[in-house]
Amino acid sequence: MPSIVSRRVTWCTYADRVAFPAEVLAEQEELVLHLRPHWRTALRPGLLVLLAVVVIAGSWVMLPSTEGGRIAFLVIAAIMLYQGVRYGVAPLVSWRCTHWVLTDERILLQDGVIARERRDLPLNRVNDHVVTQSVLDRVFGTGTLKIDSIGEQAVQLTAVPRAQQVQTLLYEVIEQDRLLRPDDEDEDEPEIPVQRKGLFRKQRR
């Protein structure tokens, strides 16, 4: 089944413009937007990996080729490898494996490398969405998007690229979904019983 990608996905994606796997989507479900956190999230881990490589290479060059120098190099290399993998490689892999997907039916959130977690939020259950931006967010054009869903715990997405435009697109998709499924809103509204006038009125003697 070929992947279906809306034209709206082209202006705002940090997922290398690769469509989300088609087998994850339901039949006739259209992909609107595929995102991952902004690249600035991967900046610090990338710098830590680079620092670890530089320190290991510098130790190899600077330390003497004696037994003591080799032991010192092994100690430094072990420490830097541990720091680089834990605080550099692991966050980078986690960033690459984080997917935020918006379709014409739901919001799909997926993360995890080995143990993968996926959460679906139907559009007809979303009742509020708020974007907040710090000074740094405004510099990079990012923001934090908080989505409230009826009967579900609120979802908070940090470092969302072009957060304001994403929020606008989310609003348009939600409104379009409500226009296409007006019956869903009617089902959520409780029925108000009709009072029958004079049913319990005392009869006059």
Handedness of CA 134, 138, 142, 146 (dihedral sign): positive
Name 165's Cβ contacts closer than 8 Å, sequence gap at least 6. 11, 12
pLDDT, position 112: 84
Q: pLDDT category, 42, cuts 50, 70, 90?
A: very high
pLDDT, position 184: 58
pLDDT, position 191: 52
Give the residue-averaged pLDDT of 67-77: 94
pTM equals 0.73
Calculate the alpha carbon distances from 72 to 8, 60, 80, 84 in Å.
55, 10, 12, 18
Name which of 35-39, 110-114, 145-149 the model is least confident about.
110-114
The answer on pLDDT for 30 being more than 90 is no
pLDDT in tens, 92-135: 999 998 999 999 999 999 888 888 888 899 999 999 999 999 99
Distance CA 181, CA 108 (A): 19
Calculate the alpha carbon distances from 156 to 20, 37, 76, 147 in Å.
21, 12, 39, 6
Residue 118's Cα: distance from chain center in Å?
Answer: 10
Asked if residue 176 lies in contact with residue 104, where contact means CB atoms within 8 angstroms, the answer is yes
